[in-house]
Amino acid sequence: MRLLKEKIVSEGKVLSENVLKVDTFLNHQIDPLLMQAIGEEFANRYKDAGITKILTIESSGIAPSMFAGINLGVPVIFARKRKSLTLSGNLYSSKVHSFTKGETNDISVSKDFIGSEDIVLIIDDFLANGQAVLGLLDIVEQANAKTSGVGIVIEKGFQTGGSMVREKGIRVESLAIIKSLADGKVEFVEESPS
Ligand code: 5GP
């Protein structure tokens, strides 16, 4: 997605060979017009997939998911990382290890919101080692629902998550795929223009 790649090049900061900081438009400050375009793009790619729910994880997956939800006309559910006063019992839970943060979180979704009749689109901001997506896939499986595919804003193609999820036969649509962050520069995997 050209607009997104231009934004990554102009505003992204390469913190190391493995980590890209995009807190001017995705991870802290949010660019609503870009999120709107991203949501439209996800919706366009999955418009014929019969999606009934979007599942993401707090907090940075919520903004792109909302716009995809508006365009697909379906509810958005975010898995919670923290225990909440109002979220107790009746939960699907999974463990997600973050290599970036060096911590493991339990993520939870109320059983009220995903059921066996659902066709789910999983959306997240980054795909790195795939742990967040695997946790969300696990929750969809626990609900006996179907995952139709995964939508990722930025995939780091040099890490293992993308191939791990695709090898399970799951469709992954990433709007920007990074080939390398070496020498402080962002290099993208070439794809057909959109
Ligand atoms: P994974 O579970 O695929 O290893 O990592 C996914 C999660 O880690 C994302 O939801 C994101 O929060 C965080 N993450 C992984 N790599 C990066 C990165 O290079 N930059 C930023 N900003 N977040 C990342």
pLDDT digits (tens, 9 = 90+) for 3-39: 999 999 999 999 999 999 999 999 999 999 999 999 9
Q: What letter would DSSP give residue 18? A: S
Residue 193 has pLDDT above 60, yes or no: no
Q: Higher model confidence: residue 86 or residue 129? A: 129
Closest ligand 1 atom, residue 134 Cα: 2
Residue 169 has pLDDT above 80, yes or no: yes
Asked whether 122 lines ligand 1 (CB < 6 A), one says: no
Closest ligand 1 atom, residue 22 Cα: 22
Q: Name all domains of the chain by residue range, CATH numbers in brackets.
A: 2-84+91-180 (3.40.50.2020)
Asked whether 60 lines ligand 1 (CB < 6 A), one says: yes
The residue whose CB lies within 8 Å of the most ligand 1 atoms, and thus the one to mutate among 80, 81, 96, 126, is 126
ipTM: 0.97
What was the pLDDT predicted at 190?
86
- How do the residues of the chain divide into helix, strand and coil, expressed in percent and rounded to 5? 30, 30, 40
Asked whether 132 lines ligand 1 (CB < 6 A), one says: yes
What was the pLDDT predicted at 82?
77
Q: Is 128 helix (H, G, I), strand (E, B) or coil?
A: coil
The per-residue pLDDT for range 44-80, each reduced to its tens digit, is 999 999 999 999 999 999 999 999 999 999 999 999 9
The per-residue pLDDT for range 31-40, each reduced to its tens digit, is 999 999 999 9
Residue 98 has pLDDT above 90, yes or no: no
Position 192 confidence tier, pLDDT thresholds 50, 70, 90 = low
Q: Is 173 helix (H, G, I), strand (E, B) or coil?
A: strand
What was the pLDDT predicted at 191?
75
Global pTM reads 0.96
Residues 6+ apart with CB under 8 A from 163: none
